[in-house]
Each structure stands twice: as structure tokens, then as C-alpha cells.
């Protein structure tokens, strides 16, 4: 039993109890579906900030954006995700087409390219995807979650778009200021070549690859056990794989492996290694090699990758989430990495699977693991003394005396029409104190106070919430004064 399993069982029992109610009758269950959550205004404010940073980066790199439906024809998703296909949500057959919720944004993107015969595009797509996985909400693993994808489709010279994808990951993780990170790089052709020269039978490449993929969660001993006992690989082959997958380095490692007497026997591996060398050359020009590691243990789960693959991990265990994770770990090494926050790779065959004539459109892309990033940003916000504002309201229109609702409505209407963000309390005669308190709570910096005297004088009393300073401003100057005081 893991801690989270127990939590889940407890939640189930509590739910059953709630359904029974006091008198044993079935009651209504007030919850979101398993593995999903609402975002409250504070979470949304943080989410908006993170999205803006990411979108700004994607736009800086010249990406357009597209959108696709949340569900696809079931057959569109069939045969694209290997062992993970069982996690796809299907819609009920209510007469008509058989539909499934999208599992990622990559397959719908490939479908879109083939359907519209597009051979060149650089696009980003930020949207929710759905996986009937075992949720682990404390680790930021949900059944409904956002993906932020950037992809470059087109027949181009080797490794130039690939290097840009890594530059983007580097820019985003830097700008979000999440602490130190590493970007691991490998190539599916190197993995396949390695499997071949280590004596893995051809028909076991994919399944052995998905076992290697577990190295970030399991020790080598356990991975080897799975290879030998469950997947029927010879112990000798497993040991040879074990030697390779422990290797990490940079361009030098790629050069060394190109000379390796075993690895160099595989044409595929050599093609992959040459591309890794070229990639590192471009990454040097981008000044990002300090964070990039060529790591032969990186496998990535999805079936559709054909070339370079990569994954970014945060290496600082400075957050609550990291601490939680460390507690759950059986493997001490794991506490160093708080998990993947971005990943991607090259998939040159996927679009061709959709094209009636099998025309290929080479693609490379990256997906930002936004949910983990949210979790970390949320914890940072909690820990910070600064309050997260959930609105951008500049001013509250208040009254000091009774019977001034009409005057408040007239004034706020003028402010809205001038583009000022303004609120008033929906009461005929609110107390001045409660209006001021509302401003304190909501972080509204200014109050426009109306009273009999102010109306007579053609002015508004402008109060600065933080300093309690008050000045009379003529109605004619009010809008420019508010703008002057609130525009950052």
C-alpha cells in the first residue's frame, strides 16, 4: 500500500458514507469527477500568468495557433498510443459516430495536417487532454489536464527546428523561474540501434523500450527484472543494455559512441548519433548546452517518435511537492528530480498514417507539462507574503451617505465607458466602512467617494486605500487622475 492508495480508499469510503446520508437514504454527491478539479479564481490568476509566459515565448518564435475539437472519431486515435490506448475515454454510443476524448494534442494535429494537406506549419496549441489514468493529484497528475504544445511541421534541414524546440524549453523554464533544470536528450534510432546490437529480438524493441522508460521511476535492478522475467529477455542482453543506459554526456559522448565497436555496427544508431552531434552544435550557438544532457536512458513512452526525443526535469527539490514526493520514494535518487516538466521529440511518420497516400510530413515538437508547473507556482504563491489579486479593479465607486445609488450608478457608468476597471456594491445604502473593507480584501487601490457635498461641488473624493490619503478631484479630471495613479 502506498500512501496515495490509502488516501484514495478513504476518499471512496467517505463518498459512500455521504451517499447514504444520516437516514440511510441515497443522497446527491457534490463533487467533480474522479481525477478532475475546479480552478478557483486564485488558481486561475496563477494559471493565466503561466500561460501568458508560455504563449509569449511561442509567439516570439513565430508560431500560429490552431484549435481542434475535444473529441475525435475513435478510429483517429486507434493505434497511435501503444499500451496506453486503454487509458482513452470513449463517449457513449448515442447513435451516430463513435467518439473518443483526445489523449494528447499531437495526434489531432497530425490529423489536421493530413486532412488539410498542410506540409509546412509552426503552431502552438494549448488545450485540455484526457487520460483514464490513476490520478495522483498531489503530484499534479490528473485525468483532465492542460497540454501546451509547440510543433514544427515541414521538410527542413536536419536538427534546426529540433534545436529551436530545445531553445524554447530553455527560455520558458528560465522565465518561469522554477529553479534549476536539466534537459535530457536521446534519439529513438540510438535506442533501437542499441537494442539491436545488444541482441534484443526485433519484435521486442517497443516493449523493451517502454521498460527502459521506467528508469526515472524504478531502479535499474527492477527494470532489469522486468526485462528478464516479464518480457523474456536474456540476462546477457539486459546487462549490455544496462551498461549503455547508464551513460550520460554531451557531444563528446556522441563522438565516443560513434567509435564504439558495438554501437557503430548499427546504421540507425550512427544516424542518430550524428544528429545528436549536430544538435549540440546548434545548441552551443544558442548558449543552452549548460542545461542539456545526452542521456541514453531516456526512452519516452509514446509510440510515434522516430528521431530525437527530449525531456526536461527540475533538479531542485525546493518545493513542498518535491518534499512530498521524496517521502513516497523508495528510491533515494528520485528526490533529486521533481519530475518531468516538458517533453517531446521528432515524429516523422505520424501524419503519413492519416494521409490516404501515405505522404509524410516530418514533425518535431515539445509539450510543456503545465500541471506540475501550476502546482509549483501555487505553492510559491502560498509561501509568499504577497497576496494574489484575482481581479484588476482600479477603483470602487462608494458613497458616504444614504440615497446615492443613482449617483453611484451614473459615475461608474462613466468610468466603465472610459475603460476604467470599476466596481460598486450592489446595495442601495452600503456602509462606507464595508465598502472600504471590500477594497482592502480585494486589493482595490482607489475609492471614489460620493457625498452630498462632493456632488454640490462637482468633485469626487479620491481615497488611496493603502495610505488612507484623500483628495477632492473635479469630475472633469477624475478619469485621467485614476489612469495616472493606476497605470503601472
Separation of alpha carbons 172 and 177, rounded Å: 9
124 is known to lie in a ligand binding site: no
Q: Does 5 participate in binding a copy of itself (rule CB under 8 A)?
A: no
Q: Does 54 participate in binding a copy of itself (rule CB under 8 A)?
A: no
Closest approach of a copy of itself to the CB of residue 422, in Å = 7
Q: Does 381 participate in binding a copy of itself (rule CB under 8 A)?
A: no
450 is known to lie in a ligand binding site: no
Place of cell 514526493: 325
> Which x/- pattern over 253-282 shows residues binding a copy of itself (rule: CB under 8 A)?
-----------------------------x
Applying CB under 8 A, which of residues 119, 390, 401, 486 lies at the interface with a copy of itself?
390
CA–CA distances in Å: residue 362 to residues 136, 237, 283, 392 = 34, 32, 21, 44
**Parallel/antiparallel/unpaired status of strands 422-423 and 446-450:** unpaired
**Which of 2/409 has CB closer to a copy of itself?**
409
151 is known to lie in a ligand binding site: yes
Tell me the window of 216-224, 254-262, 310-318, 387-395 that interacts with a copy of itself (CB under 8 A): 387-395
DSSP 303: T
Q: Does 161 participate in binding a copy of itself (rule CB under 8 A)?
A: yes
106 is known to lie in a ligand binding site: yes
Q: Does 431 participate in binding a copy of itself (rule CB under 8 A)?
A: no
Tell me the window of 26-34, 303-311, 329-337, 454-462 that interacts with a copy of itself (CB under 8 A): 26-34
DSSP 186: E
**Residues across the chain:** 488
Closest approach of a copy of itself to the CB of residue 378, in Å = 14
Applying CB under 8 A, which of residues 416, 471, 480, 485 lies at the interface with a copy of itself?
416
Tell me the window of 158-166, 260-268, 317-325, 328-336 that interacts with a copy of itself (CB under 8 A): 158-166
156 is known to lie in a ligand binding site: no
CB atoms within 10 A of CB 429: 11
Q: Does 361 participate in binding a copy of itself (rule CB under 8 A)?
A: no
Three-class SS of residue 273?
helix
Sheet holding 459-464, edge to edge: 422-423, 395-399, 446-450, 459-464, 470-474
Please say whether the beta carbons of 383 and 474 come within 8 A.
no
Q: Does 112 participate in binding a copy of itself (rule CB under 8 A)?
A: yes
What crossing angle do the helices spanning 160-176 and 267-285 adopt, rounded to 10°? 50
484 is known to lie in a ligand binding site: no
Q: What is the longest distance spanned by two Cα atoms in the chain?
A: 95
Closest residue by Cα to residue 154 from 126, 121, 117, 176: 121
Amino acid at each position: 500500500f502506498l500512501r496515495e492508495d490509502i488516501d484514495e480508499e478513504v476518499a471512496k469510503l467517505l463518498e459512500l458514507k455521504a451517499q447514504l446520508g444520516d437516514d440511510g437514504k441515497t443522497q446527491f454527491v457534490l463533487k467533480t469527477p474522479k481525477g478532475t478539479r475546479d480552478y478557483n479564481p486564485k488558481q486561475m490568476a496563477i494559471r493565466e500568468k503561466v500561460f501568458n509566459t508560455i504563449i509569449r515565448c511561442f509567439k516570439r518564435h513565430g508560431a500560429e495557433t490552431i484549435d481542434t475539437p475535444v473529441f475525435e472519431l475513435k478510429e483517429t486515435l486507434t493505434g497511435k498510443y501503444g499500451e496506453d490506448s486503454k487509458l482513452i475515454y470513449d463517449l457513449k454510443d448515442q447513435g451516430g459516430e463513435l467518439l473518443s476524448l483526445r489523449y494528447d494534442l499531437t495526434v489531432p494535429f497530425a490529423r489536421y495536417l493530413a486532412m488539410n494537406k498542410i506540409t509546412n506549419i509552426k503552431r502552438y496549441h494549448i488545450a485540455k487532454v484526457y487520460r483514464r489514468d490513476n490520478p495522483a493529484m498531489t503530484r499534479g497528475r490528473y485525468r483532465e489536464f492542460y497540454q501546451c504544445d509547440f510543433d514544427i511541421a515541414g521538410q527542413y534541414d536536419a536538427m534546426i527546428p529540433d534545436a529551436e524546440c530545445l531553445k524554447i524549453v530553455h527560455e520558458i523554464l528560465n522565465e518561469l523561474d522554477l529553479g534549476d533544470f536539466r534537459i535530457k536528450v536521446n534519439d529513438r534510432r540510438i535506442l533501437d540501434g542499441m537494442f539491436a546490437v545488444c541482441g534484443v529480438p526485433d519484435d521486442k524493441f517497443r516493449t523493451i523500450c517502454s521498460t527502459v522508460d521506467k528508469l526515472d521511476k524504478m531502479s535499474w535492478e527492477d527494470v532489469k527484472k522486468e526485462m528478464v522475467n516479464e518480457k523474456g529477455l536474456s540476462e546477457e542482453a539486459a546487462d549490455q543494455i544496462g551498461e549503455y543506459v547508464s551513460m550520460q554526456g554531451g557531444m563528446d559522448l556522441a563522438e565516443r559512441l560513434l567509435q564504439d565497436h558495438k554501437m557503430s555496427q548499427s546504421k540507425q544508431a550512427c544516424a542518430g548519433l550524428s544528429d545528436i552531434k549536430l544538435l549540440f552544435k546548434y545548441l552551443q550557438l544558442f548558449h543552452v548546452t549548460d542545461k542539456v544532457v545526452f542521456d541514453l536512458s531516456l526512452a519516452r513512452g509514446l509510440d510515434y517518435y522516430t528521431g530525437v526525443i527530449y525531456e526536461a526535469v527540475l533538479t531542485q527539490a525546493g518545493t513542498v511537492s518535491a518534499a512530498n514526493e521524496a517521502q513516497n520514494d523508495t528510491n533515494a535518487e528520485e528526490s533529486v528530480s521533481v519530475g518531468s516538466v516538458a517533453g517531446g521529440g521528432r515524429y516523422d511518420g505520424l501524419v503519413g498514417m492519416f494521409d490516404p497516400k501515405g505522404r509524410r510530413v516530418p514533425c518535431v515538437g515539445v509539450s510543456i507539462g503545465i500541471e506540475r508547473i501550476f502546482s509549483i507556482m501555487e505553492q510559491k504563491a502560498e509561501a509568499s507574503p504577497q497576496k494574489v489579486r484575482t481581479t484588476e479593479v482600479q477603483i470602487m465607486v462608494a458613497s458616504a451617505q444614504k440615497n446615492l445609488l443613482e449617483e453611484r450608478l451614473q459615475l461608474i457608468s462613466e468610468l466603465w465607458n472610459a475603460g476604467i476597471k470599476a466596481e460598486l456594491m450592489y446595495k442601495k445604502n452600503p456602509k462606507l466602512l464595508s465598502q472600504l473593507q471590500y477594497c482592502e480584501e480585494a486589493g482595490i487601490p482607489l475609492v471614489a467617494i460620493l457625498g452630498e457635498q462632493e456632488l454640490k461641488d462637482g468633485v469626487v473624493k479620491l481615497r488611496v486605500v493603502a495610505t488612507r490619503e484623500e483628495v477632492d478631484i473635479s469630475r472633469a479630471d477624475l478619469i485621467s487622475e485614476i489612469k495616472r495613479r493606476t497605470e503601472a
